[in-house]
Amino acid sequence: MAKKNSSIDRARIVANVAIQTATVFFIVLMVNYLAFNHFKRWDFSRNKKYTLTRQTKNVLGGLVKPVKFIVFFSSGSDIARDVSSLVREYAWASKKMISVETVDPYLNLTRGREVSAKYKLGTGENVIVIDCDGRSKTVNASEMADYEPALNPVEKPRLTAFKGEQTLTSALIELTEPGSNKIYVISGHGEPGVKSDMHSGLKTYIERQNISLEALTLADVETIPADAKALFIAGPKYDFSDRDLRILRSYWNNRGRLLVLFDPVSPVPNLATFLDDVGVAVNNDRVLKTMPYGPVTGVLKEITGDFLEGSRITNRLSNVTAIFLGVTQSLRLDPGRVKPLNIRLQPLIKASKGFWATANYELTGGRGVFFNPKLDTPTPVVAASVEKGALSDDRMRVDSSRMVAIGNCAFIRNDAMTEADLDFFLSAVNWLLDREHLIGIAPKTVRSFALSLSEAQIGNLALLTLCAIPGAAAVFGIMVWLKRRR
């Protein structure tokens, strides 16, 4: 009887251990499943180097077909590590819509030759191949980084900015969007051409948004081409004719989209009248502030501005400062006058505190420049958006006419545009094209960090690492040994 009970007890113990083992295994399995599929990621880098922007996340969230990234990089590239980390972020954020394959052509010769032959890659190239539904685009390493030339032939160029995210996202947009968005750049009034060297950088950034630019002279056409997604008027030197304005008005009233930059040095009253008809008065003034320079007072005409909340263009830039080089003129909005026409006006940028708009900006006859509260406007509006035919509820989308007007045209030059200015400009362009979910991605500046230590500090650090830490471990070990001996 006792032997029988002993067998039963053993069977119960075995069953209990088996159940406990299975339970622990199941719990571990479930924990790993939940951790793998439901996790939170943090970026602790100094300048959020690996944090994807909202535009990129929106693009990844809109993917309907799987995409493959082939990272064809040698390990010796100075941006290989950044590129590898970036594509992993894309893969995680895409919810398995993006797969990543890394191929080092010097370590994996067979696969390297296959990729080179399939995508027609050159020898020694460092590229990322993006493949989607039979279409592919190649992004070169040179497109993903900016370098500062070396001072002498022995040194290597210094990496100044990493542009991997903006380049990869632009390539994704190009592959996944049907066709291209064409913006016509108006010419014939002294505007800089599409191929102007001054604006080559801006042109590159626009084209990376899957947007093509083409020159258009209004004197050569009767109507705006049907494939025009928007018109870009960039600082005309000479005024528009009555015929030009008839073409513009016809286009505007037919749900047209315009981006207008004014050159304060060259008044264009006819074009200003066109804007006045929609509630935006372009003032013949200058935005400036005075600054003390020792015994004299100087006039600062290169302004800083504050992005305003309330618009899809500038909402996320509300805590960022714009910098407008060159001269700037102010805009005056009259929403009450155009409200019966179903036109909605929205200020986008106001000059920062201390700046004002004045018509008396010339230093003539020994007269100084000073703020006159009766005539001048403090912190004036310098950029605004206009929308005609939109519904009051932003959740409802209808086709409408849209315009962005800016009282400065110099800020888009290569030598003047800041990251914030670029981000604002691309956001305005995407708003005009009904792509509010897309915003500009500015390059991420590579910041050097140097830890400067004195000789005494270096000595203390060496003492800590060579003596204090090992000594503490030794003391702890001796204490444990003594305790066990007792």
Spatial separation of the C-alpha atoms in residues 279 and 403, rounded to whole Å: 12
Report percent pLDDT > 90 for the chain.
Answer: 32
* Average pLDDT of the chain, as a whole number: 83
Last residue of a domain, one of 113, 141, 171: 171
Number of folded domains in the chain?
2
- Residues 223 and 138 reside in one and the same domain: no
Asked if 231 and 251 sit in the same domain, the reply is yes
| Domain-embedded: residue 186 | yes
Same domain? 89 vs 186: no
Q: How far is CA 4 from CA 9, 17, 18, 64, in A?
A: 9, 20, 21, 66
Instruction: Name the pLDDT band for 94 (thresholds 50, 70, 90).
Output: confident
| Structural domain includes residue 467 | no
Mean pLDDT along residues 343-347: 94
Q: What is the pLDDT of residue 291?
A: 80
Q: Which of 136, 152, 171 is the last residue of a domain?
A: 171
Residue 103 in this model has a pLDDT that exceeds 80: yes
Residue 5 lies in a domain: no
User: Same domain for 201 and 104?
Assistant: no
pLDDT at 39 over 70: no
* Residues 437 and 321 reside in one and the same domain: yes
Question: Is residue 297 located within the same domain as residue 371?
Answer: yes
- Integer Rg of the chain from CA: 31
Domain stops at, among 129, 153, 171: 171
Q: Is residue 370 part of a domain?
A: yes
Q: Residue 373: is its pLDDT beyond 60?
A: yes
Whether residue 395 sits in one domain with residue 257: yes
pLDDT in tens, 245-298: 999 999 999 999 999 999 999 999 999 999 999 999 999 999 988 887 767 777
In angstroms, the Cα distances linking 177 to 60, 174, 369 are 12, 6, 52
Where in the sequence is the domain holding 309, given as residue range(s)?
180-442
Based on the domain organization, do 388 and 250 belong to the same domain?
yes
Statement to judge: residues 292 and 354 lie in one domain:
yes
How confident is the model over 116-166, as pLDDT tens digits?
888 887 767 788 989 988 888 888 887 787 777 766 666 677 777 777 887
CATH of the domain at 87: 3.40.30.10
Q: Are residues 193 and 264 in the same domain?
A: yes
Residue 27 lies in a domain: no
- Which pLDDT score is estimated for 158? 74
In this structure, what CATH number is given to the domain that contains residue 199? 3.40.50.880
Identify the pLDDT of residue 417: 87
90: in domain: yes
Q: Is residue 45 one of the residues assigned to a domain?
A: no
- Residue 447 inside a domain? The answer is no
> Higher model confidence: residue 136 or residue 354?
354
Shared domain for 185 and 292, answered yes or no, is yes
Question: Is the whole-model pTM more than 0.85?
Answer: no
Regarding whether 199 and 148 lie in a shared domain, the answer is no
Q: Which residue has the tokens 């960090």?
A: 449
pLDDT over threshold 70, residue 184: yes
Q: For 205-229, how does the pLDDT look when each residue is reduced to its tens digit (9 = 90+)?
A: 787 677 889 999 999 999 999 999 9
